[in-house]
Amino acid sequence: MYGLFRLFLFCLVLIIGAGAAFAQKRGITLQPKEVRAQTPYAGGFYRALLIGNNVYRDRSGHWPSLTTAVSDARALSQVLQRDYGFSDVELLENATRRDILLALDRLSDRALPDDNILVYYAGHGFIDEDDQRGYWVPVDAQGTDQTTFLRNSTIRDELNLIASRARHTLLISDSCFSGSLLRPGSRGISASVDSEQYFRKVSARKSVQIMAAGGLEYVDDDYRDSGHSPFSYFLLNELKHNDQPLITLSELSNNVTRAVANNVEQVPASGVLHGAGDELGEFIFIKLDVVVEGVDPDKVDVQVNVLPGKPATDAPAASVPNGIPPGRDSQQKPHVPMPTL
């Protein structure tokens, strides 16, 4: 009898323990794995400083408030972190001159030798027609007092310091006269060199690149009530709909320039920061979620989040080299193996 009682207690303990374990398991919340990109073939981090200035404080009314600069910076921050694995992003809204300089200093302090550093500015810009000096206009700018602006030479100095510490540095400026910052030039990627060997080469070389909303011209604030400037609208559109695991700044800039010029009286420009040590490298964006049409995700040999697309109707997956169909311009671009993330 005593033996049966002990057996009963043992079974009861097992039942209670299993129930407790089940209850505990039901309460577990699965957290998504943190995904961050690293410099292709090198291992550096992706960092960004994004500045959007809408609310200007100038009592004279010389600098009216804008409507889309903050939303542009916010949207780019979201896309860079969600789709391109930027793990260090600082967003400044309605920044003063001092705010911008301090943020650039902080970014410079965090930069490591293999890092990719992106600086984005959306707000008013100004160029002095007498001496052709260009400026960013912070929200605390006062009328035409240029001492309250942020001169291009100061911006260049800050970028030079960042570039001296990082591998790839990119400035994207969405303001009037932003082209005054750059020395025109393009690396002119052709499909024949858009290969793993090419990506390895430009990833290893230092780059200090600039992408500007326009040259020495005024640029629009709101594009068709989209809540974004024309330049930032098409920049965001290209980044969101990019279907390639790797895209260089040169290719991105070419696509954005064509789209903007086709739709508004504005022509973006791109080039390099003169004297900052550019070695014909490239800032490379890594798309973390890649849709592969008609391919079983288990058969994909790239280490990204592979989203299965619709089954191919014209050819089986096995007919494509490495089991992965190319992205855009599929007749010209070969498959590019993805670096480990």
**Amino acid identity of 149?**
F
Among 242, 230, 244, 187, smallest CA distance to 210 is for 187
Among 26, 47, 28, 48, smallest CA distance to 38 is for 47
Among 308, 216, 191, smallest CA distance to 266 is for 216
Among 205, 228, 241, smallest CA distance to 73 is for 228
Among 121, 153, 126, smallest CA distance to 137 is for 126
Average pLDDT over residues 214-231: 65
pTM above 0.75, yes or no: no
Indicate if the pLDDT at residue 18 is higher than 90. Answer: no
Query: For position 272, what pLDDT does the model report?
Result: 86
Confidence of residue 9 (pLDDT cuts 50, 70, 90): very low
> Hey, what are 223's tokens?
């594009």
Average pLDDT over residues 264-287: 86
Residue linked to tokens 């932003």: 178
Query: For position 17, what pLDDT does the model report?
Result: 47
Among 252, 240, 340, smallest CA distance to 291 is for 240
- Mean of per-residue pLDDT scores for the chain: 75
CB atoms within 10 A of CB 215: 16
The CA distance from 64 to 58, in Å, is: 8
Q: How many residues appear in the chain?
A: 341
Q: Strands 269-272 and 207-212, how do they pair?
A: antiparallel
> What residue ranges define each of the domains in the chain, with the CATH number in brackets?
46-286 (3.40.50.1460), 289-341 (no CATH)
As beta bridge partners, residue 183 has 272
Confidence of residue 29 (pLDDT cuts 50, 70, 90): very low
Average pLDDT over residues 197-208: 89
Average pLDDT over residues 10-24: 42
User: 126 by DSSP, 3-state: which?
Assistant: strand
> Hey, what are 2's tokens?
């005593």
Confidence of residue 266 (pLDDT cuts 50, 70, 90): confident
pLDDT, tens only, 47-102: 999 999 999 999 899 999 999 999 999 999 999 999 999 999 999 999 999 999 99
The CA distance from 313 to 93, in Å, is: 47
The CA distance from 321 to 306, in Å, is: 17
Q: Where are the alpha helices (DSSP H) in the chain?
A: 2-26, 69-84, 97-110, 152-165, 196-204, 230-241, 249-263
The residue that leads in pLDDT, 142 or 129, is: 142
